Amino acid sequence: MPPWYKRTLSSGEALTRANTYLENARNSKDRRRAQKLCDQAKETLERMDISKSVKDRGQIVAVYREHGKILEKLGLGDEAQHSYNKAEGLMYD
């Protein structure tokens, strides 16, 4: 059994956590803290089993887009583009 911090998350749990991280990043005045929160959101989304999340697909796409927007505001264009690409790819799966 994997350690608790590596276990697969349900889409509901992952979306709740990722949205919380992104909201805190959006409201943070500290750039480094905002970037760390974005990293935590990304790690949370990567732990989700997307194949079991068909009904939540639209919400997942929205979270990846929001992740990209925040990264873009932080000046991390390449990482933002990766999130936008992930969102676009999920729309057509």
> What pLDDT digit, counting tens, does each position of 11-33 carry?
899 999 999 999 999 999 999 99
Q: Can you give the residue ranges of every domain in the chain?
A: 9-91
Phi, psi torsion values for 34, nearest 5 degrees: -60, -40
Instruction: Name the DSSP letter for residue 92.
Output: T
Structure tokens at 78: 């390449």
Q: Which positions ≥6 away from 25 have C-beta within 8 Å? A: 33, 34, 35, 37, 38, 41, 70
Closest to 42 (Cα-Cα) out of 84, 3, 73, 1? 84
- Residue 5 is predicted with a pLDDT of 64
Give the predicted TM-score (pTM) of the model: 0.88
